Amino acid sequence: MKRNAVLVLLCLGVVLGLTSCGAGSGGPSAADAAKLVAEADAELLALSNQAGQAQWIAATYITQDTEAISASLTEKAIQAGVKYAKLAAKFDGVTVPPDVARKLKLLKNGLVVAAPGDPKLSAELTKITSGMEAHYGRAKYCPTADNCQDIGQLGKTFAESRDAAKLLDAWKGWHATAKPIRADYVKYLSLANQGARELGFKDSGAMWRSKYDMEPDAFAKEVDRLWEQVKPLYVSLHAYVRNRLRAQYGEQVVPADGPIPAHLLGNMWAQSWDNLYPILAPPKADPGYDLTEILKARKATAEQMTRMGESMYLSLGFSPLPKTFWERSMLTKPRDREVVCHASAWDVDNVDDLRIKMCIEPTGEDFFTIHHELGHSYYQRAYNKQPFLFRDSANDGFHEAIGDTVQLSMTPEYLVKIGLLKSLPPESADVGVLMKRALEKVAFLPFGLMIDQWRWKVFSGEIKPEQMNATWWELRKKYQGVAAPLARTEEDFDPGAKYHVPASVPYTRYFLAHLLQFQFHRALAEKAGCKQPLYRCSVYGNKEAGKAFEEMLAKGASQPWPETLRLLTGKSEIDATAVVDYFAPLKKWLDEQNAGKPTGW
């Protein structure tokens, strides 16, 4: 049976002019492999561009028609990806040049969602995935008939309100919007797993983990190793925050030694806690400025904030964004239609049609976010001379880390240089500056880890459909030390209230990115000759650091990511000690504050 299956797949290669079929066939050759990757490079580029245009319209003009068109073109791209993944697998064991071998590997491991070979099932899967994402984009919580709020508006509630009842209502309302997609998600799991198994993977989770230039199980162990490096820092931060929230809301709301109720952490998903800084700030550590207030006072527009972000990259020696970026990006929320406001960076033609989709508000958070999104844009441009199959990041964590690395250079000194601050805060404010950044970066780490811990287990069947919501909260308690503020049942689908779950976006990349950015920052600071503590270093204006950065980016996916990592950092493995080094003064201070009080949960 296996030999017959191979023969059928090789016969499919005849259509592409790759090999002969039937009696006397000599099997696949190196020449066949080279022809395959050339065909794949051209076809997948064309299909990616078509799907990208349709997806852009579907995200910025949400209608049934745009959703259907996007689903159709996305399905074609997915089917082609599956076809080439199956063909590439037939060259296992064939000796080919290194660049061809790399392309074959990327073809086999390049899918996020593998559609089943059955056209009807493939169409069903793409309809489900497009529908779940569109549902998220349309979702609103309507406490009254004339008061409907989308996630952006609800996000403001979490950022600004400290009314526990109001926060609870917003949390409950938004999480209820995910209930309708629970059944679709179960179907999605089955169909996506079927497609992954047709490619030779155990399940979709194993397929996702196979992309990291190591065996799937080895990668899972690597993630565990990295978490253990930073866990003590997170536990110290968690204990301090819990004590302060207990003082804020009372012992009846926040326990002394248990998980923190998820709705009290300043973010819908409790993934970052920086909105709580005003009530968590260390005494006498006020940096003396509020970036949101500065931007509002200056009436900063979305374009102005974006151009300030561009100026950071220009100072490092990167080229200006193309004219079309400013013509085609969606930087503000339109008044006349529904859109997906979730910030994202696009390269629609995979060359220089760079765009950003974001509903920018004059806030410090959005100012940092636009710098992050531009990191994607400059990475996309840096590798656009590579063959299409190499036009991607070294691994997906790299793509998310680039803009965040730049964010780490957005120090008070940087803000002075670009005119947003008049003078530097005193050194006594250092612990406060570190606290604010830790509430964003360190607080995120276990959340960035647990989403795919949940999905890997759901894909593998370790978590059954009838246990999905309960185990979601078990994992959130295990890693984050947070708990649902209300009783939950399996009628709820709380994972679906986070964009990346209905949109099928792997999430471990964000965990890796939150580690890589500090490793990158440490390497860039060394190249810039910074003699200050790591958290004070900014490479703004340093062309030497920028050149080293761009040289790494230009490699794209052309080689295994450890080799690319070594180019900039001198190391071939991710090293979370840079996070520990960066926050060392804060860790010392936190441990002093937590002395004699419970830690952990």
> Of residues 175, 371, 372, 399, which has the active-site annotation?
372
Assign 3-class secondary structure to 518-535: HHHHHHHHHHCCCCCCHH
Non-local (6+) Cβ contacts of 569 within 8 A are: 519, 520, 522, 523, 575
Distances from the Cα of 5 to the Cα of 12, 105, 115, 198, angstroms: 11, 21, 18, 11
Distance CA 261, CA 81 (A): 42
Question: Is residue 400 annotated as a catalytic residue, yes or no?
Answer: yes
Question: Is residue 373 annotated as a catalytic residue, yes or no?
Answer: yes
Beta strand residue intervals within 112-194, DSSP E: 141-144, 147-149
> Of residues 373, 514, 525, 582, which has the active-site annotation?
373
Distances from the Cα of 76 to the Cα of 43, 44, 50, 200, 290, angstroms: 11, 10, 10, 21, 48
- Would strands 482-483 and 260-261 be described as parallel, antiparallel, or unpaired? parallel
Question: Is residue 372 annotated as a catalytic residue, yes or no?
Answer: yes
Question: Is residue 376 annotated as a catalytic residue, yes or no?
Answer: yes
At how many degrees (to 10) do helices 302-315 and 364-382 cross? 50
> Of residues 175, 263, 342, 371, which has the active-site annotation?
342
Distance CA 248, CA 530 (A): 40
Counting other chains too, the contacts that 524-532 makes at CB distance below 8 Å and 24 or more residues apart are: 524/405, 524/409, 524/548, 524/549, 524/568
Question: Is residue 185 annotated as a catalytic residue, yes or no?
Answer: no
**DSSP per residue, 328-379:** H-B-S--SSS----S-EEEETTSSS-EEEE----SSHHHHHHHHHHHHHHHH
> Of residues 175, 371, 376, 514, which has the active-site annotation?
376
Containing H/E element for 91? none
Assign 3-class secondary structure to 92-103: CCCCCCHHHHHH
Q: Structure tokens of 106?
A: 């990327």
> Of residues 34, 68, 159, 343, which has the active-site annotation?
343
Distance CA 590, CA 579 (A): 15
> Of residues 84, 414, 507, 510, which has the active-site annotation?
510
Question: Is residue 124 annotated as a catalytic residue, yes or no?
Answer: no
Classify residue 595 as left (phi > 0), alpha (psi -120 to 50) or beta. Answer: beta
Classify residue 371 as left (phi > 0), alpha (psi -120 to 50) or beta. Answer: alpha
Distances from the Cα of 332 to the Cα of 360, 432, 532, 558, angstroms: 5, 31, 38, 35
Question: Is residue 500 annotated as a catalytic residue, yes or no?
Answer: yes
> Of residues 124, 222, 289, 500, which has the active-site annotation?
500
Catalytic residues: 342-343, 372-373, 376, 400, 500, 510
